[in-house]
Amino acid sequence: MKDNTKKVLQGFLIGAAAGVVAGLLLAPSSGKETRKKIADSAKDLSDKFGNEFDDAMSKLSSFTETTLSNLKNAKSEKVSSN
């Protein structure tokens, strides 16, 4: 499941970047303006991805800690009942 999520995320990012670049290259602008737009869009996309990644990692960390705590509690209860 981890590989599938990674592949989907990579596909999304590649598609988004390709769409942004294609849109900017097809727009009637000078080369200098187009390069600036591409750089700005790439930075925005990078920032957004970084924020989304940080949020996902935070949620994953919280989930992992909760799950481990629940497993330890369940193990303690099982040992206590024996």
Give the pLDDT band (50/70/90) at residue 82. Answer: low
Which tens digit of pLDDT belongs to each residue from 29-48?
Answer: 777 887 888 788 888 888 88
- Which residues have C-beta within 8 Å of that of residue 29, sequence separation ≥ 6? 37
Give the pLDDT band (50/70/90) at residue 2. Answer: low
Which tens digit of pLDDT belongs to each residue from 9-32?
Answer: 888 888 888 887 787 777 777 778
| SS3 labels along 17-65 | HHHHHHHHHHCCCCHHHHHHHHHHHHHHHHHHHHHHHHHHHHHHHHHHH
**pLDDT in the model for residue 5:** 76
Q: Please count the CA atoms within 13 angstroms of the CA of 58 that sit on its side-chain side.
A: 6
Read off the tokens for 51. Answer: 């924020």
